[in-house]
Homo-oligomer: A and B are copies of this chain.
Amino acid sequence: MSETSTQPGTAQSAAYTPTDRTVPTRSRERAAYDRELVHSILDEGYVCHLGFVRDGAPVVLPTLYGRVGERLYLHGSTGSRPLRMAGQADPGLPVCVTVTHVDGLVLARSAFHHSMNYRSVMVHGVARQVTDPDEKREALDALMDHVVPGRSRDSRPANAKEQAATAVIRLDLDEVSAKLRTGGPNDEPEDLSLPYWTGVLPLAKGYGTPVPAADMAPGIGLPDYLAAL
């Protein structure tokens, strides 16, 4: 994703400032605040889990997202509950957005030390509806290009009616942390000689073969940006 939308002239430190909410109560060595690391984890995912509070109870919704510099954008129908709530509430809707990649299953000798290798990012903040038309257009392009880089230039842009039917909310990357686990099992010294297979089972993600729609117009080849994936 492009960094060009970050406010010009704003000097940024290389890391987010930890807060009470972003410092874990345990396994603190797994927490990280480096901006580049956070961006790379965000940019690798498709779906975030958006948490908000409705009638005092939590709701966790899976949804697509995009990043432009230090802003995260989520979109949905103007009828969607959290997007409506973000538009009505002042100053906005308190949310927590989490993105998680599971990289491997850690099979220790002891049940207790089984774990997973993962990289996750958690963003706390207040989501606001985007009303500026230029920012909204940029956000929607970022959402598409997040899913498939280059796609926004190879599809019909939203018309005025479609733009009006789409709500976009923005969450500034401000109170942010990453959490990671890598490496093999951490068994107790007295368990090392136990006769169990132990190690990591990596989880692989990838793309299948693109399936063209049955009614695609004739003579259209697979575009380079898809062939490259």
Contact across chains for B197 and A203 when beta carbons are under 8 A apart: no
Partner of A94, one of B21, B57, B199, B221: B57
Chain B residues contacting A51 (CB-CB under 8 Å) are: 49, 51, 58-60, 96
Q: Say if the beta carbon of A47 comes within 8 Å of chain B.
A: yes
User: What 0/1 readout, one digit per residue, does chain A (164-178) give for beta carbons within 8 Å of chain B?
Assistant: 011000000000000
Contact across chains for A26 and B197 when beta carbons are under 8 A apart: no
Known: A156-B110, A211-B200. Contact between A105 and B46, CB under 8 A? yes
Q: Say if the beta carbon of A215 comes within 8 Å of chain B.
A: yes
Q: Say if the beta carbon of A124 comes within 8 Å of chain B.
A: yes
Q: Say if the beta carbon of A37 comes within 8 Å of chain B.
A: no
Contact across chains for B116 and A162 when beta carbons are under 8 A apart: no
Question: What is the distance, in angstroms, from A172's C-beta to the closest C-beta of chain B?
Answer: 15
Q: Copy number of this protein in the oligomer?
A: 2
Closest B residue, CB atoms, query A223: B197
Chain B residues contacting A105 (CB-CB under 8 Å) are: 46, 147-148
Question: What is the distance, in angstroms, from A20's C-beta to the closest C-beta of chain B?
Answer: 9
User: What 0/1 readout, one digit per residue, does chain A (55-90) give for beta carbons within 8 Å of chain B?
Assistant: 011111110100000000000010111000000000
Which A positions have Cβ atoms within 8 angstroms of B? 21, 25-26, 46-47, 49-54, 56-62, 64, 77, 79-81, 94-98, 100, 102, 104-105, 107-112, 114, 116, 118, 120, 122, 124, 140, 144, 147-148, 151-152, 154-159, 162, 165-166, 184-185, 191-217, 220-223, 226, 229
